[in-house]
Amino acid sequence: KTQSPESLLDIAARKVAEKWPFQRVEERFERIPEPVQRRIVYWSFPRSEREICMYSSFNTGAEDPAAGPGGAAA
């Protein structure tokens, strides 16, 4: 089975996604072509099951979901 090399678009999008959040990229550049946006978003998400589990169980620090800002219940 032969492997084809990664496209320049994928390499660049992966490097951008490793360094900056997508929101920051959108704010910085006025026009980003749709295919480039899609590849940056694709590479912005974790690849391994371990990383996905880690991000999906991320705790924001609020112990009580009903607690408002500063930890006081509403």
Question: Does some domain include residue 40?
Answer: yes
**Domain count within the chain:** 1
What's the predicted TM-score (pTM) here? Answer: 0.60
Amino acid at 11: I
Calpha distance 55→48 (Å, rounded): 11
Residue 29 belongs to some domain of the structure: yes
Structural domain includes residue 53: yes
**pLDDT single digits (tens) 11-49:** 999 999 999 988 899 899 889 999 999 999 999 887 788
Give a yes or no: residue 38 inside a domain.
yes
User: Does residue 15 lie in a domain region?
Assistant: yes
Domain assignment present for residue 72? The answer is no
CB atoms within 10 A of CB 40: 21
Q: Does residue 64 lie within any of the structural domains?
A: no
Kindly state whether residue 1 falls inside one of the protein's structural domains: no
Domain range enclosing 48: 8-57
Both structure tokens of 66: 């009903």
